[in-house]
Amino acid sequence: MGMSNSDNQTGSCNPLHELPLLYQFSNTLLSTIRLNKLTHLILTMLTIEENHLFERAFLFLLNEKTGLLQGALGVSRNVDDTLITIADPENPLVNRWDISEETIIRQSGAELSRKTRICKIDLKINCPVLKKVMKQGRLFNSGDHPAINPATSLNFSKDINIGEFVAAPLVSRNGTIGMIVVDNPFSAENIGNDKLRLLRLVAAQSGMAIEHSILYKKLAEAHSDLQDAKERLIHGERLAAIGEMATSLAHELKNPLVAIGGFAGRLFRALPPGSVEKGYAETIVNETCRLEKMLADILAFARKPSICYSYCQVSEVLRECIEISRNALEEQAIQISEPECDRTWYVLGDAHQLKQVFLNLFLNAAESMPNGGTIKIRLEIRNDKLFIRIKDTGGGIPDELMPKIFHPFFTTKEQGTGLGLPIVRRIILNHKGTIEADNEDGGAIFTITLPLVKHDHQTNDY
């Protein structure tokens, strides 16, 4: 369905000859909402042999966030790149092209595409060509400007070796969203007026089609985010219900458990040393202790936290936690070193709760190193935030468990409640901080960030 060769070479324009081609372009642009496929279709329609339009075509899109004009795709005329024509003999006006996934993959992986993607053009640079195309939304034909050097005028990578070219803006409702650049480096053939007009029309339609496709992509992402939020909400509600049940159960269990523990303790002390019964009583005492700790954790988790803020010097809080844990850690052949901190930095927080955070993390680290190891702590300041990194050598957290470790009641330990990390996370979030887990050098690493505050006073705090 392309234009005949003679039509193109005359340079004259015959709108009636162009019409079927334009329809076919138009129908093709409407045939997909997938941005990637659309970009390949556009550039291939402009370069395939049968259309006799251009030998190479490049697509650049404006990155809203960085303000840079980013190379997206480059296609060079290639015998292997064919389009599939979908034709209706009864009604030629519905003809369109399609492109195979293999062609898309081949074009994306080709050297020219790679070189194009490397191009990131800063629109703030003083470039008359880009100003005309991007700011004024007008087509630029380098053939009309003999004073301009095509090779350097677009700030393309030198590898692309651009010759005489035409750059057409991709105009959407919200301004120019990118540009298409075409050239004929193999034949060095001039780009005639008929092809210019066609390019202008195709670029205008492509701009709209690409904008729709980007909007659709954003909509799909927003929809998926909303779906995630809905699932999190349902999950949260379910957790809240479980939490409520667990709390009332914990309350019910607490008193009898204290009684059992108390009597078992008395029994233990009264029984003669070395007797089998003393052994039984000891087991009851230990197990009730464990259950009491578990109940205390559940109640602590269920309780609404009240924070008592003061200016805390985190390095001091950490130092105290290390002191508290040192004996137990040394018994387990675990080395822990105090963090180096050359300045006094403060966060606004509840020192008692922050202690709970660090002790929980030390305990988890210790539990992952039953045969000894090291716990390293690093403090670092970046962007008004304090980064606290606690790293162990206990083998790390398996990838498949990583998403679950902060879930309440998730544990891999026989004696664990699975509330340590959820409590830690909640305290950190209440302090407007973040916590992340990762694996590094054969161990787990927990990174906490806390917002820093300026503090001049030296009273009533750490």
Ligand X SMILES: Nc1ncnc2c1ncn2[C@@H]1O[C@H](COP(=O)(O)OP(=O)(O)OP(=O)(O)O)[C@@H](O)[C@H]1O
Q: How many angstroms separate the CA atoms of 386 and 62, rounded? A: 35
Grouping H, G, I as helix, E, B as strand and the rest as coil, residue 14 is coil
Radius of gyration of the chain (CA): 34
CB of 437 vs ligand X, minimal distance in Å: 7
Q: Does 364 bind Mg ion (CB under 5 A)?
A: yes
> Per-residue x/- marks for Mg ion, 419-458, CB under 5 A?
-x--------------------------------------
Q: Are 352 and 426 in contact (CB under 8 A)?
A: no
Name which of ligand X, Mg ion, none residue 413 binds, using a CB cut-off of 5 to 8 Å depending on partner kind. Answer: ligand X
Q: Does 373 bind ligand X (CB under 6 A)?
A: no
Pseudo-torsion of CA 83, 87, 93, 97, nearest 10°?
-20
Residues facing residue 166 across a β-bridge: 141, 182
Which of the stretches 186-194, 328-336, 362-370, 372-380 binds Mg ion when contact is defined by CB under 5 A?
Answer: 362-370
Q: Report how many residues bind Mg ion under the rule CB under 5 A.
A: 2
CB of 425 vs ligand X, minimal distance in Å: 9
Taking the least distance from each CB to Mg ion, the nearer of 39 and 325 is 325
Residues 6+ apart with CB under 8 A from 196: 139, 141, 166
> Per-residue x/- marks for ligand X, 327-366, CB under 6 A?
-------------------------------------xx-
Grouping H, G, I as helix, E, B as strand and the rest as coil, residue 357 is helix
CB of 340 vs Mg ion, minimal distance in Å: 26
CA dist list (Å): 254 to 241, 263, 422: 20, 14, 22
Q: Are 106 and 44 in contact (CB under 8 A)?
A: no
Q: How many angstroms separate the CA atoms of 364 and 415, rounded? A: 12
What residues between 204 and 243 interact with Mg ion by CB under 5 A?
none
Structure tokens, 320: 């105290």
Q: State the residue number with the nearest CB to Mg ion.
A: 420
CB of 330 vs ligand X, minimal distance in Å: 18
What residues between 271 and 330 interact with ligand X by CB under 6 A?
297
Interface positions with ligand X (CB under 6 A) = 297, 364-365, 368, 392, 394, 397, 401, 405, 410-413, 416-421, 444
Interface positions with Mg ion (CB under 5 A) = 364, 420
